[in-house]
């Protein structure tokens, strides 16, 4: 017997069990800054909603490759080998994929008037299973404590 995939956003981490979801709907329905929807042993899916004028913030993941896909909004992707020299700069919009190699400084900035809706895949996982950050401030506070 076949069951329908998840079509309504729930900020519940379904990993590491088998799962099928409509990632576009989940991303567009998400109002949290970040929510982990699936965390396995080797990769993790999060959805993000960056408010107008907001950003991910300058960061680096030494041992984690990262993939972003833009489902809605407009912004800018910045990357570089050094945090003071982000030579890679690209405008991003719906339909764009962003690949960030491990060890690369990066930031994603919302340039629009509406939330920038993204999903991100980390390999290996970067956030604890079940992570939900309602705001960037909450995310920064939790990550500072780890």
Distance CA 146, CA 141 (A): 9
54 pLDDT exceeds 70? Answer: yes
Q: What is the pLDDT of residues 100-121, one digit of tens each?
A: 999 999 999 999 999 999 999 9
% residues pLDDT > 90 (the chain) = 84
Domains of the chain: residue spans and CATH? 23-145 (2.60.120.10)
79 pLDDT exceeds 90? Answer: yes
Whole-model pTM: value is 0.89
For the segment 59-70, the average pLDDT, to the nearest whole number, is 97
Q: What is the pLDDT of residues 86-95, one digit of tens each?
A: 999 999 999 9
50 pLDDT exceeds 50? Answer: yes
What is the dihedral sign for C-alpha 79, 30, 139, 134? positive
Are residues 142 and 136 in contact, defined by beta-carbon separation less than 8 angstroms?
no
């Amino acid at each position: 017997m076949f069951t329908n995939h998840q079509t309504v956003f729930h900020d519940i981490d379904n990993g590491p069990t088998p799962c099928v979801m409509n990632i576009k709907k989940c991303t567009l329905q998400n109002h949290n800054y970040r929510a982990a929807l699936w965390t396995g042993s080797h990769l993790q899916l999060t959805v993000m909603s960056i408010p107008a004028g907001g950003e991910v913030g300058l960061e680096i993941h030494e041992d984690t490759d990262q993939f972003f896909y833009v489902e809605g909004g407009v912004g800018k992707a910045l990357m570089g080998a050094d945090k003071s020299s982000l030579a890679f700069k690209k405008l991003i919009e719906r339909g764009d994929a962003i690949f960030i190699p491990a060890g690369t400084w990066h930031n994603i900035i919302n340039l629009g008037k509406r939330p920038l809706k993204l999903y991100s895949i980390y390999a290996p996982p970067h956030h604890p299973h079940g992570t939900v950050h309602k705001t960037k401030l909450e995310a920064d506070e939790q990550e500072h404590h780890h």
